[in-house]
A and B are shown apart, each in its own frame.
Chain A
């Protein structure tokens, strides 16, 4: 007799509302706590299930903008030589006295910056400071590119490297859109990936064929100033572990929760 229409509707609405709000309430404190902390701590041990846990350190304070890394990457990985297609590149950050930030990367930095044309955007402005920032795939712990691939062609290996199965890639470019770091590109019809495909997506593999043989990625090997370091984070003596021991690293766009595994030293928050 208590089962009235009013009672039924109340019950259903209340239940639905409760179910919707409850998880948010449970999650909320953690959510706010994480946002409030100024410097999100990075758990370096939080890695793939593999034996090794590769890590990459970019010390931007050492980079001299010679571009040898970009050149070596293209040679090692058969990347199309046109400056639009890159697995890695070098950016120049210029800060003016007024607080403006200009970023450019002429030819992706492959010829270095010594003969690069001046950036007219900040011509005549007072420069406060300027530095270079090498960029590459962050091999995220939570890679958005892997999540969006409709055919499961891009995946994360056990040792934490995000690869593309180019036999399965259909070239739809969802992953290019999803990557917050611009680390992916579509191989143009003239070019061929190391796998022999064109019109598929290619990206930095941390030179997977080299690191699995105990060698350093090509860009790390040719860097003349040690601005790029690579190694196993589980090994306390590896160059990356040593570099991160004394310096709190930053990652790019930490708020996105992608958990990048390229750790940056010597960069400002403007660097994204």
Chain B
């Protein structure tokens, strides 16, 4: 009768001794391997973002770009697909300018046999050669149907585009065109039926200060300095609708006297 009780006593004593020893001198990892991982789930869920996933929010600062993009073929391509993770841009204004745009274009649009046929693809060498993609394509509105055609005659006006359409001209080009010279305009802006007499469209090396001019003024200007009296939107020979807001001071910049 005494033996089983003694054995049990020894067992209990050994377990108790082990627990005490573990508590006092056991290594830190003992008991660490519990099965409850709920804290770890929280930890994973709390990791910081790099990609912000806020395409719509981009519009609060970059409204015009976003509007263009939303209407164009790239509307399903997220801002961050090309511009990269935007969280740092949102929190501390790190620039998201794209350094090598062509590399991004090629990623998706170089001709590859493995790509679905529905994907627009070009043989880059044949299609563009050394010309940068962005010389013709606006990444926010990549289709070439995009840039407006030249609505007026180019007779005697080729190479003088920036006189009227430069940043300070009467009908300036968009801000992102800054720095472009007259020689490149016709690469993208087509003029139906016009054949360039200039073999190499390089344009004048020094930008001219006098326009070659849209329609010349067929009448004398004696006592007629108030152009908009007759040619304003409500006049009896109104100027085109896209001239709205122009004042008499600028008419002679483009329209020469007889």
Nearest-neighbor residue (CB-CB) of A211 within chain B: B45
Q: Which residue of B lies closest to A154 (CB)?
A: B37
With a cutoff of 8 Å between Cβ atoms, the chain B residues found around residue A167 in the complex are: 40
Tell me the residues in window 43-74 of chain A with beta carbons closer than 8 Å to chain B beta carbons: 61-68, 72
- The 8 Å CB contact of A130, one of B41, B74, B106, B114, is B114
A64, B119: Cβ atoms under 8 Å? yes
Q: Which of B80-88, B128-136, B158-166 contacts A (4 or more CB under 8 A)?
A: B80-88
Chain A residues whose C-beta falls within 8 Å of the C-beta of B53 in the assembled complex: 210, 215-216, 221
| B48 interfacial contact with A, CB 8 Å | yes
A residues 184-200 in Cβ contact with B at 8 Å: 194-195
Report the separation of the CA atoms of residues A72 and B80 in the bound assembly, to the nearest whole angstrom. 9
Smallest Cβ-Cβ distance to A130: which chain B residue? B114
- Chain A nearest CB from B195 CB (Å) reads 36
Say whether A208 faces chain B, with CB atoms less than 8 Å apart.
yes
Say yes or no for B43: interface residue by CB 8 A criterion. yes
* Range, interface on chain A: 35 or more
Question: Using a Cβ–Cβ cut-off of 8 Å, how many residues does chain B contribute to the interface with A?
Answer: 34
Do the beta carbons of B81 and A195 come within 8 Å of each other? Answer: no
Closest to A167 in B: B40
Determine the chain B residues whose CB is within 8 A of the CB of A225 once the complex forms: 76, 119
The reply to whether B106 and A132 form a contact with Cβ atoms under 8 Å apart is: no
Contact of A224 among B33, B45, B108 (CB under 8 A): B108
Given A92-B114, A163-B40, A224-B76, verify A68-B81 contact (CB < 8 Å): yes
A222 at interface (Cβ–Cβ under 8 A)? yes
CB-CB under 8 A from A111, the residues of chain B are 107
Interface of chain B: mostly helix, strand, loop or mixed: loop
Q: Does A233 contact B (CB under 8 A)?
A: no
Task: List A contacts of B85 (CB < 8 A).
Answer: 72, 75-76, 218
- Cα(A157)–Cα(B51), bound, Å: 23
Most buried by A among B41, B49, B107, B113: B107
- Please tell me if A269 contacts chain B, counting CB pairs below 8 Å: no
Interface centre among B43, B51, B78, B112 (most CB of A within 10 A): B51
Given A68-B81, A222-B78: A75 touches B114 (CB 8 Å cut-off): no
With contacts A209-B45, A215-B49, A221-B80 taken as known, whether A152 is within 8 angstroms of B108 at the C-beta atoms is no
How far is it, in angstroms, between the C-alpha of A93 and the C-alpha of B114 when the chains are bound?
A: 8
Q: For the complex, what is the distance from the CA of A195 to the CA of B77, rounded to whole Å? A: 30
Known: A165-B37, A215-B53. A112 touches B107 (CB 8 A): yes
Q: Are A163 and B84 in contact (CB under 8 A)?
A: no
CB-CB < 8 A to B33: which residues of A? 151-152, 168
Question: Chain B residues near A152 (CB, 8 Å)?
Answer: 33, 35, 37
Answer whether residue A205 sits at the interface, using C-beta atoms and an 8 A cutoff: yes
Name the B residues within 8 Å of A165 (CB-CB). 37, 40
Contact, CB under 8 Å: B50 / A76: yes
Given A152-B33, A157-B41, A165-B40, 5 further pairs, Cβ under 8 A: A63-B116, A65-B114, A66-B107, A67-B107, A75-B51
What are the 10 A-B residue pairs with the smallest beta carbon separation, nearest first?
A: A114-B110, A209-B47, A130-B114, A112-B107, A224-B77, A165-B40, A212-B45, A66-B107, A222-B81, A215-B53
